[in-house]
Copies of this chain bind each other. A is one copy, B any other.
Amino acid sequence: MIRLDGRKTNEKREVKITRNYTMYAEGCVLIEIGNTKVICTATVVEKVPPFLKNQGKGWITAEYSMLPRATGERNQREAAKGKLGGRTMEIQRLIGRALRACIDLEKLGERTITIDCDVIQADGGTRTTSITGGFIALEMAMRRLIEKGLLTENPIIANIAAISVGTVKGTPILDLMYTEDSEAEVDMNVIMNDKGEFVEIQGTGEEATFSRKELNELLDLAEKGIYELIDIQRKEIEEEFSK
């Protein structure tokens, strides 16, 4: 199968990371995966939500939003509608859950990290891009807490990254862009750590179903892509903190 942008079936799009894209946040990157662009910031606050008070543990939460014209047609702002849509809630719950799986909340101490993922331009894979970029912002924030003496040990226990895989016209492919995503028979988001263990799998075939064999092929593709993303994440962190 020849993909529209000439990629091989097991080839992810080009990744570009701009560290410190904005100046106030404790951690910030602009992550571009193909034409998908997301600003991920990590904000550290020295308190925890009520349900965690006085337990010596921290919390990670995430919020996700798209600019109205991040897409081909303009979407109404959720602030104007007066409520968050189901898709937004589902995505930000996923991002938060994934990032909590890579951190030791007790080592974090009584502080909350909010990861804001704002999609500037969308071309498929915005939720997985948010997790991959959000991890870098989180790691940057952790390193800065150590630099400031607020933490003695990095609470991150594993690198994580995420990627989408799917089946288009019967062929399993890696890292779907929007036109591929909209015609996929199976659509799967995989979040994995650097040891090849799953953090979360979400696979759906809205108009179709998929077999155990297909599932395995898709998971193989995802694993390859995630290892590549984790290499990029590590190089960025290293460059930032070897300065």
Q: A23-B35, A74-B43 are in contact. Are A82 and B83 (CB under 8 A)?
A: yes
Which residues of chain B come closer than 8 Å to A200, judged between CB atoms?
202-205
Tell yes or no: A238 within 8 A of B by CB: no
Q: A24-B71, A86-B89, A208-B101 are in contact. Are A201 and B202 (CB under 8 A)?
A: yes
Which residues of chain B come closer than 8 Å to A97, judged between CB atoms?
204, 206
Cα–Cα, bound, A70→B70 (Å): 18
Cα–Cα, bound, A81→B206 (Å): 27
Tell yes or no: A193 within 8 A of B by CB: yes
A93 touches B86 (CB 8 A): yes
The main secondary structure of chain A at its interface with chain B is mixed
- Closest residue of B by beta carbon distance from A93: B86
Within 8 A of B (CB), among A207-221: 207-212, 215, 219
A69 touches B25 (CB 8 A): yes
Contact of A209 among B24, B158, B209 (CB under 8 A): B158
- Closest residue of B by beta carbon distance from A197: B209
CB distance from A1 to the nearest CB of B (A): 22
Cα–Cα, bound, A196→B211 (Å): 7
Interface code A165-188, partner B: CB below 8 Å = 1, 0 otherwise?
Answer: 000000000000000000000000
Tell yes or no: A153 within 8 A of B by CB: no
Cα–Cα, bound, A42→B77 (Å): 15
B86 touches A83 (CB 8 A): no
Interface code A78-90, partner B: CB below 8 Å = 1, 0 otherwise?
Answer: 1111111111111
Cα–Cα, bound, A229→B68 (Å): 27
| Residues of chain A at the chain B interface (Cβ within 8 Å) | 22-25, 28, 35, 37, 39, 41, 43, 45, 63, 65, 67-72, 74, 77-90, 92-93, 97, 100-101, 114, 116, 118, 120-121, 158, 193, 195-212, 215, 219
